[in-house]
Each structure stands twice: as structure tokens, then as C-alpha cells.
Structure 1
């Protein structure tokens, strides 16, 4: 197996990402994926339970300065109803995602986590004990005590993307925070025992291939056990409305390198990558899992809220949780993978 020694530095990663022919890197990433995490594609159900956010991230449609966005906050009962339907459909992970909404205190969210963890996933497997769903939280930067309370309540994973490892670019995109604080939170999460996830966007203004190299090395430094990497998609209701979308090909290359650097990590086929890939006239392969990804996220947010969770513009069909799950399973099997 060819392992690329240049992956030890940001400059080396940049040089590899700029390769004219990336075929061998894709093949290596897919081989490593097969040997470390196998052919299983993990399906995660996402509930976007609040689009209220106190932050001002200039690329995000949820930022507090966007006055055109209708705001919502799901009730405890609505969240648990959506989670129960997803678990009944066979999802083994519920992802609770929101803007940074202080209404959801540590105690309020802990109660919801505990209730979801008590649910049982139907299974044809003969097991001695029932299968309870894993819970992933993605609610932004919080204090260490909040993270600890949610871990004690049963949360398994936490996703907090760093978005860019360049402090200058980070400051320009986040007038309400610092890269240092974001990385501090990620390291706290890792220390508390979460399956810690971060990630970044490809195509941000001012970004270079060296920046992407730094992004990938930061994932390893934290260390991350999952990473969401996808192209930037501009939102017309943000200050970056005129910024061109990121390159899906470069995003795929970054995922492949992440697989080589983090062989056992969970790497999603991100929604943003799927959205832009569908618009491409040329694709690297008919198989969307050919570059190292092994996770698919599926929205199960109720229809009356789903459109309002607009980080970037996208079209979503009517939510039919069980039918959507079956269709995903069919597609994944058609690519020779095993949905779970």
C-alpha cells in the first residue's frame, strides 16, 4: 500500500491536493476505508430543532443578523416524536442539531437526550439486550459543564466544525468568536470521552490549498473521530452572497486525504457535497462512496420547520421518514455497500 509521506505537513498535503491525477489517492482512501471500517454505511437521522442562533457567522443563514429568516424552536414533545419515528424506521443514531440557542439549557437538552436513549431500535438480529440509539449533539460552543452534563445524560458524539484552521480567515467569518476558543471546545469534548467531530468548508474566501492542509492536520491533532467536509455554498441572505460555491472535486479530495490521515474515522457524504455534486456535469465515479466516506446524514426535521433551517439554499422533498430510509438503503445496496 502506498502511503504518502507528504501528508505530515500542510505544504505536502497542498501539493498532493493539487495533483493533476488524483485516481491513486482515491483508490488508497477507499482501500483504507474497506480495511478499517468495512463496507457498512451508517445512516444518521438529523433533527434540526431550533434555527435561533446568537452568533454572527457571515456564511451561515442562521446568523442572528439575518432578519429575513422565520425563526422556530421545536418543543420537547415535537423533538421526541420525530426521534421516535426515526428510531422506529431503523435509525441507530439521532443527531440533534441547532443554532446556538440558549433556551436549550444543559438540563433541558439532557432530559431530551435521556428520553431518546431509552428508545429501542427494532432489529431482526438476535441480541440479548435491546439496541438503544446513539445520540449526536451539534449545538455549538458551550461551557465544559454543559458538555459534561450531556455526556452523563448519554450523549455519544458531538459535532463542532472548526470551518477553517486559518486564524485570519476565521476572524473574518466569525466576528463573534475565535479559532482558539473553538479548538479549546473540541479538545474538551475529546477529553470528556465524546466521539468528537469537526470539519471544514472548501472554497471559503481567502482559502488556499495550504489552508486545507492545516485543516486536515488539525483534525488529526484534536484528535477527531468524525469529520464533516464539504464545499462552501453561498447563501443570498448573508454577506457572502456573491462568493462562488466551493469545488466539489476539491472537497472529495479533502475527504480522501482525511480517510488516509484518520483511517477509522466516520466521514459523512455531506449534504453540501451531495447538493453540488448533483449539479456537476462530470463526476469522478458513479459511486458516491468511492473516496472514503462511510456515513450518510438524512434530515427527519418536520416539514413545517425544515425549510427554515437554511444554513445554505437547498431543495428538500417532503419528509417521509420510513420511506426515505428504505430508499436510502436501496441506493446504498446498489453501490455494493451495507446500510446500517
Structure 2
């Protein structure tokens, strides 16, 4: 097993069979070795810095019906909301005072936010905070729309592919198409965004073979960012009561991605901290180097419920900032409040 991990460390890739061997035969000693190699690689590339992004969840309206998601269209129990431009700018102003230099605007696929509104939003934020990076996470868009957002000043775009397995994708994404999802990611690369892909871990029916497909797709795509999080069941979805994803599986895949894409920006997600009190710290130890504390108003945090048991919904933005800094410092790393761009990215 160590030989296979060493090969990944040295060559940054494995064959399909080797990736599957790694996942199928991971034991305690091998996991420790994998963690140490992933941490070694991250320190080589980024030192012990953990970059911060201020997350603003600005709408929980969504036209999609992803089976696992708490803000799916068919969830009639969801308390829907939209933040106004002024409310979003207020979140950014607060975040700026707290030291954030990257803002992440995340929402469901909400038709209310037309291209014109998104462009106005991007321009307003970049005009007010010109030295800050701006990330969008708005779901699938066509090439023309994405290009408008980039030309307005957006720097990054997060679009998790969710799963690279056509069977699993079709099962959990009604009326959606994996090829369309992938095309959107390739469009983002072509336009010039720093691109974030990623996948869920632990959906009912997922296997190690499916995760290998995710790894091979990521190696081909070469995204600047990768988000990997555990599936966590939501009570108002068809998957209510299903078993959640495993933190061990998630950190294993985080470490593999760190070795496979050495310079990648890799978040320790809020979902990790929601399934385990030390989840984000474990993610960092396994190669993650990004955290995204919440800047959304506390009045809407509970409403942006993709899954049950989400942490920090009642904390003020300053509390989130102080809390995550303490967690990072306690495990020997340091919070970096800069833009934290990918090393190889330059705006076109």
C-alpha cells in the first residue's frame, strides 16, 4: 500500500486499477501514511496557511430537484428567502471589517437572479471591494451567462459535479444531465475562471468504483479548487433516514486529491464539521487548506439547509471568524486572510 501512495506522491496520478486498489485496501496504518504524505505535499506548496473565504448564502430558491438536497424544488416545507443587493453588500462590508478578502456568493438555481441582476451584483461588489476576490456558486449556466459574470469581475466559480458516475448522477438528479454539468465546467475553464469542481461522498449506492471515476475526471479537468463533502440526510427529502457519509472516506479522498493535484485549493467543508465536531480539523490534517466561515445574516442561516444538523447557524459572523481561527491554531496551522488565489491562475 505504501508503494502505491509513494507512486501517487511522486507521479501525481495512478491508473484506474491502482486508485481502486488504494480505496479498497485502506487500513489504519495506510491511512496515517496517506495523511502524512498529503500534509507533506500541502506544506511544500502552501506552507501551513489555511485560506479563508467569507460565505454568503443569498438565496435558497431553486428550480432543481436533487433528491438529497434540502432546498430542492419539491420541498414545500422550506422557508424560502432572497437577500437584496443592499443586504449582500452589508454582508461584504462586515466581512471586510473582519479581514476577509474573498467573498463566496452561493445560492440555489434561482431564475429571479437574471444575468442582469448577477452582473449588477458582481460589479457592485468589485467596485466597493476592488482588491477582494469574488467567487460565484449559482449552479449550471450557459457559456454566454458565465462570460458576462467573468467580464463583470467575478474571479472564481464553484460547480461541484456531484458524481462522475452516470448511473448515480441520473438516480439523484431528475431532469439533469451529467454531460451538461461537465460541459459547464469546461466552459468555465475556457472563459478563464478559477474553477471549482467536487463531489459528494456516501450517497446510497455509491461505491469505490464511483469515487475512482470522480478522481479520474478531476485529474483530466485540472480544476483550481475541489470541494468534497459527506452526504448528510435531510428530513424533507426522499433520503430521510439514510445513513450519512463517512468522515474517514471523505478525508481519504481529500488526501488523494491533494497528492493528485498538488496546488489545488481544497476546503475543509462545513459539512465535515457537521458530522464530526473535529471534522474540519481532520480535513486540514489530510491536506485541506481552505475554510469558509459564514457571513450570511443569522436570520437566514437555518433556512439555507442543504442537510440536517448544519453547524454555526446561530453564530454571528465575528464568532465564526474567531471560532475557526482557534480551531486552526490549535492544530498547528495559521489562518491566512488574503485572497488566496491558486498559484497558477492569472486573470485573462
TM-score normalized by the length of structure 1: 0.91
In the TM superposition, residue 83 of structure 1 has moved relative to its aligned partner by 1.2
> Which residue is 1:310 aligned to?
305
2: CA distance, partners of 1:320 / 1:71: 21
Contact 1:6 1:12 in 2 (8 A): no
> Which residue is 1:119 aligned to?
128
> Which residue is 1:3 aligned to?
7
Query: Which is further off, 257-266 or 212-221?
Result: 212-221
Out of 329, 333, 340, which is 2:329 matched to? 333
Residues 1:42 and 2:51 are matched in the alignment: yes
Out of 7, 21, 32, which is 2:41 matched to? 32
> Which residue is 1:272 aligned to?
271
SS in 2 for 1:8: coil
Runs of 4+ residues deviating >6 angstroms: none
2: CA distance, partners of 1:287 / 1:171: 31
Contact 2:70 2:234 in 1 (8 A): yes
2: CA distance, partners of 1:274 / 1:239: 24
1:92-115 CA-to-partner distances (Å, cap 9, x unmatched) read 110000000011111211111122
In the TM superposition, residue 14 of structure 1 has moved relative to its aligned partner by 2.0
> Which residue is 1:12 aligned to?
18
Contact 1:195 1:226 in 2 (8 A): yes
More helix by share: 2
Contact 2:251 2:282 in 1 (8 A): no
Contact 2:281 2:327 in 1 (8 A): no
1:63-85 CA-to-partner distances (Å, cap 9, x unmatched) read 10000111111111111111111
2: CA distance, partners of 1:25 / 1:50: 38
**1:1-340 alignment, distance < 5 Å:** 2-4=6-8, 7-18=13-24, 19-20=26-27, 21-120=30-129, 132-278=131-277, 288-313=283-308, 314-340=310-336
1:237-286 CA-to-partner distances (Å, cap 9, x unmatched) read 101113210111010000000001110000000111111122x8xx8x97
1: CA distance, partners of 2:81 / 2:190: 33
In the TM superposition, residue 6 of structure 1 has moved relative to its aligned partner by 9.7
Contact 1:10 1:212 in 2 (8 A): no
Alignment: residue pair count: 326
Which stretches in structure 1 are left out of the alignment for 5+ residues? 121-130
TM-score normalized by the length of structure 2: 0.89
In the TM superposition, residue 287 of structure 1 has moved relative to its aligned partner by 5.4
Which stretches in structure 2 are left out of the alignment for 5+ residues? 337-348
Contact 2:68 2:238 in 1 (8 A): yes
Give the superposed CA RMSD: 1.9
Contact 1:95 1:137 in 2 (8 A): yes
In the TM superposition, residue 7 of structure 1 has moved relative to its aligned partner by 4.2
In the TM superposition, residue 210 of structure 1 has moved relative to its aligned partner by 1.3
